[in-house]
A and B are shown apart, each in its own frame.
Chain A
Amino acid sequence: MTNIALYLATVLLLGLSYTRDRGKTRKALKKALKAFKNILPQFLGIIVLVGLLMAVFDAAFISRLIGQESGWLGVLLSAVVGAVTLIPGIVAFPTAAMLIQGGAGYMKIGAFVSALMMVGVVTLPVELEYFGRRLSIARNLLAFLFSLLVAYIIGKVCGGLWF
């Protein structure tokens, strides 16, 4: 659905650009290709790394890891697992639903999903390429801490009295 919108917008704008100025359009495409070529090696590496990680960290393994510890240690562990894995949202949300049904606390799931989306240990090579070392590390570190904050808030909001 969103992919269709994305492609529609791209084709539309590309066509518009082409009718306005062919030279500029060609230049834009050249820039796109060059940018793509520059980052392709990192992307390919990450794809394989993700494959390896996901083959080990499947839903069952993740739920075992997250389900084990309770309290703040469990939350911390969930955030770490979320940080090092890279799972597409469409798989991650059902996994989270499964974990909640399996009895994992809301705090842990909050930490897991939040770190999963914001912290990217696996994608760090790509991030370094664009942002440089200082910014990448700072961003990931802050995102990780923020995930813990999110976990706390979600625990308070959803958990009600039990916490």
Chain B
Amino acid sequence: MVLIKRYRFFLATATILLVISLVNQEIGSRAVGVVGYTFREMAMIIPPVFILLGLLDVWIPRETMMRFMGEGSGVKGMLIAILLGSAATGPLYAAFPVASVFMKKGVKFSNVLIFIGAWTRSKFTQYQTTPKLWINSQYLRNLQ
């Protein structure tokens, strides 16, 4: 029962997917394709992120985090937050667990928000994919 309650959101969406697939096979199969892609992406990113967070939780004492990014860390704390957020890879949902560990470790609240902002906004790790993107856009142009 508890299991059903915990997974009710997933069960609801899965049911909708099933119904839509029965009504319209084309949309259904497209949706399944996207689900497969997203699942692979998450399966790639989530494990290392959570392991790194576990290590951080165990090894880095609260005092250290507070000294670098806590109250009174000033500009240094902000810069660290921006750097960490920009260097990180992955979609927004991967940032939430990191942010919650930060909050637990006494990182200043505004620095947590700066971190999230940098994560979503400045992505210097993604510039590496530019050549591929360019090819993609060429491909898309040819499709039109």
Contact = CB atoms under 8 A, between A and B. Distances in A.
B9 A42 contact: yes
A79 to B, nearest CB: 14
B44 interface: yes
Contacts of A54: 30-31, 34
A49 B53 contact: no
B35 A51 contact: yes
B80 interface: no
A89 B120 CA distance: 11
Nearest to B58: A28
B89 A55 contact: no
Interface in B23-55: 27-28, 30-35, 38-39, 41-42, 44-55
The winner among A14, A55, A130 for most chain B CB atoms within 10 A is: A55
B59 A17 contact: yes
Contact of A51 (B31, B92, B99, B116): B31
B67 interface: no
A120 B94 CA distance: 12
A32 interface: yes
Given A7-B48, A52-B17, A52-B20, A90 B113 contact: no
Decide if the interface of chain A is mainly helix, strand, loop or mixed: helix
B53 A35 contact: yes
Nearest to A98: B140
B133 A48 contact: no
Chain A interface category by residue count: 35 or more
Nearest to B139: A94
A28 B141 CA distance: 48
Given A28-B51, A117-B121, A123-B92, A45 B46 contact: no
Contact of A35 (B27, B31, B41, B50): B50
Given A35-B53, A97-B140, A118-B120, A47 B97 contact: no
Given A17-B55, A17-B59, A130-B100, A90 B50 contact: no
Interface of A: 1-3, 5-7, 9-10, 13-14, 17, 24-25, 27-33, 35-36, 39, 41-52, 54-56, 58-59, 86, 88-90, 93-95, 97-98, 101-102, 117-118, 120, 123, 125-127, 129-131, 139, 143
Given A52-B31, A98-B144, 14 more contacts: A1-B129, A2-B89, A3-B45, A9-B48, A10-B51, A28-B55, A32-B47, A35-B97, A45-B10, A48-B17, A51-B34, A118-B117, A118-B120, A139-B116
